[in-house]
A and B are shown apart, each in its own frame.
Chain A
Amino acid sequence: MRGIVRYELRMRWRSWRYWIVFLLASALALFMPTPLNYPGPDDAPKFFSSWWMASQAFSGLTLLMTLLAAFLVADRIVRDTTLRTRESIKVRAVGEAEYVLGKYLASLIALALIAGPVFVGIPITKWVITSTLMNLWSLLAVFLTMYLPPMAFVAALALTATTLLENPRPFYIPFAILWFFDSMRFRLLNSWIRGVFNFSGASPFQAFFSSVVLFMANDPQMPQMSPAVAAANISFLLFTSALLLVALVYFEKRRRGAWRRTGAEGR
């Protein structure tokens, strides 16, 4: 599987679409917790909190990437048909599970790497503004809880849906609508149902990070979220991702069987 991941990543890096998203996402993530976005002198204390800077950077990045990730990942399996490599792959020894997981992991790694500039840019920003070192654990914790689970979910959803539809296009608009309603509830997570069933990264943000930043914890407008709900949200995203991938492997196996029986590709 490592080989599949390596080459899928290589192909990803050689695509201009990936670099456009990379630059766009990096620019937004680096803008969010900097004085450019908070120019007033009263806001200066914010920059003393590593947790605040990390969660600000990743809330912007997650919001944008839950949309763009789907567009980046959607065609990863379907394009083997459009590029006409699929038939040559089907006669090889690779199994469906290895093939699907290789594509999925490569997509997830590519999405995770988009957060790379945040890990470099935010500590530098903090050093320049406050002459203090960044608490790197804050960046890692926010990345692992707020960014990665939604990415895992979106990548699995995009891969499965587009493979089932055999075309990425019918997926884009319904997904964009779903994303809009999901992300626009960012400030409205006032019930545990909404807290668990969302992929905006808002639940861990409110449960884990806003509470450790003093002025955010004291903000009456900030909805309260229990860590249990946030943990349930992360579990939901990871479990659903796994379920979608199992369904995708099953579908690929079944499709190979069906294709064999009916020869859907014609004579």
Chain B
Amino acid sequence: MQIQVENVTKIYAGEIVGVKDINLEIGNGMFGLLGPNGAGKTTLMRMIATLLKPTVGDIHVDGHSVQADSMAIRRMLGYLPQDFGVYPNLTAREFLDYFAILDGVKDASKRKEAVERASDIAGLSAVENRKLKTFSGGMRQRVGIAQAFLRSPQLLIVDEPTAGLDPEERIRFHNLLSEISGDRLVILSTHIVGDVETTCNDMAIIKNGSLLVRSTPPKLIERVQGKVWEVIAADEALEDIKRRHRVISVVRKVEGICVRLLAEKRPTENAIAASPTLEDAYVYFVGGVNEHVGPE
């Protein structure tokens, strides 16, 4: 499975630019698309999922164009939208059976098989006869994964899947995605750095509709090596630090305020070099928590 995004631009009504001139090649495995809210992630996901057509350029999924051959792509696609909803009066099993019907699976025994397999993958077997209105947010996301898996897709797109989930559900969801990725292509679109860090072997960062960086999480972390520092500062010094450096986090400790920041060289004498994380790299590339900093 291979996706080629070629010079893709999407312009909405009112000349609002969704994404501009994106070029990307994605192969099998877990691919993370990271970016702040409104960066254009969902636009790109929807274009790959054949829900939107690019204004300029084309996307090929295993050689099929989204412009010309969207049905062929749909046959190999599983999609969990950002805003996934369910029919509250149906049970999980009924809901999946209904969606299998909408997929065009007419044979009841084949449908049953597909529903059981999808329920199994998403860990819904024990609760499949419960009505969906009784499901928690995490359980509903599982139903979302199950419906995306009804066709055993080679391409799975999940858009902001962990938004609103509690930490335990998030971990469970990460594990589930890692388990099912196997020889598939799974695209995870999110603004939560931790989601990509724990699950993806390949990633890209997008902002204001443009691709900022394309790399693997370890390589991205490597690129900010030596640029992440921790400083213990007094309350009154905090504003000055914020003005001069890009601050990633501020944590109050017994000995003072621990400021984690980005700087090309040691910002103060008492600054300690910190080992960078993907979140540091993300802030470095995207522009950061306090973007308007003065010259270092």
**A→B interface (CB under 8 Å):** 3-4, 7, 10-11, 14-15, 83-85, 87-94, 99, 259-264, 266-267
Contact = CB atoms under 8 A, between A and B. Distances in A.
A263 B45 CA distance: 12
A267 B39 CA distance: 8
Interface string B47-86: 0011111000000000000000001001101011101111
Given A15-B89, A84-B84, A93 B74 contact: yes
Interface of B: 10, 12-13, 16, 18, 38, 40, 42-43, 46, 49-53, 71, 74-75, 77, 79-81, 83-90, 94, 97-99, 101-104, 106, 144, 147
Given A88-B84, A88-B147, A93 B49 contact: no
Nearest to B77: A91
Interface centre among B42, B50, B101 (most CB of A within 10 A): B101
B154 to A, nearest CB: 14
Given A260-B53, A262-B12, A263-B18, A93 B86 contact: no
Contacts of B18: 263, 267
A85 B85 contact: yes
A54 B267 CA distance: 91
11 contacts: A4-B102, A14-B90, A83-B88, A90-B51, A91-B51, A91-B74, A91-B79, A259-B52, A264-B13, A267-B12, A267-B43
A267 B43 CA distance: 5
> What are the 3 A-B residue pairs with the smallest beta carbon separation, nearest first?
A84-B85, A3-B101, A14-B89
Contacts of A91: 49-51, 74, 77, 79
Nearest to A7: B98
Contacts of B87: 11, 83, 85
A87 B101 contact: no
A61 to B, nearest CB: 26
Contacts of B106: 3
A85 B49 CA distance: 15
Nearest to B55: A261
Nearest to A98: B102
Contacts of B46: 263
